[in-house]
Amino acid sequence: MKIPAPAFRVFEKISGTCEHQELILPQSLIVAGVSGGVDSMLLLSFLHYYRQKTTFDLLACHLHHGIRKGEADLDEALVGAYCGQHSIPFVPMREDIPAFAKASGLGLEEAGRLVRSRVFDQVAAEYGEKKIYKGGCRIALAHHLDDRAESILMHMGRGAGLRGLIGIRYLDGPLIRPL
């Protein structure tokens, strides 16, 4: 896999985080939640690269959320094409998040967060049961430093106290956030 020097440096920095935080264990399954946006495509590219260093199975899951129909179709096609080009198993899922938000009385963002979490958990459970993974099964998300700062501010605004200052963790149960 040929990688331009700037991307290689970024990937090596993320590799260091993965190793230091023990995010990706040998002989594990990593389900990458991939929206098709820049951050999640970077995550998927990194995970593809990182398989050269550590033996793990990689699966990409894309959730078509039914919000920006034409753009969401393009996002799904982009992720599917990348996965096909790099021999990464691809699981496209579809959910009507606007309908769920309306039925549940939630805002669109909160409904989206809940549905994404449910879908990624479901895919990880389904594919994690097909093979015994000594390293377990984890779900990789493309949250990064800006997302961490936003989370800290949101937690503080809700009065979360010192615990709210933690923000988004690299490892939180089955979720990993290497970026």
pLDDT band at residue 155, thresholds of 50, 70 and 90?
Answer: very low
Decide if 94 is inside a domain: yes
Decide if 14 is inside a domain: no
Question: What pTM was computed for the model?
Answer: 0.85
Q: Which of 88, 89, 93, 91 is closest to 72 using CA atoms? A: 93
How many domains is the chain built from? Answer: 2
User: pLDDT per residue over 53-108, tens digit each?
Assistant: 999 999 999 999 988 878 999 999 999 999 999 999 999 999 999 999 999 999 99
Domain with residue 81: its CATH number is 3.40.50.620
- Average pLDDT taken over every residue of the chain: 89
Whether the pLDDT of residue 109 is over 70: the answer is yes
Residues 113 and 43 in one domain: yes
Question: What's the mean pLDDT in 151-171?
Answer: 61
Residues 58 and 109 in one domain: yes
Could you give the CA distance from residue 63 to residue 96 in angstroms, rounded to a whole number?
Answer: 10
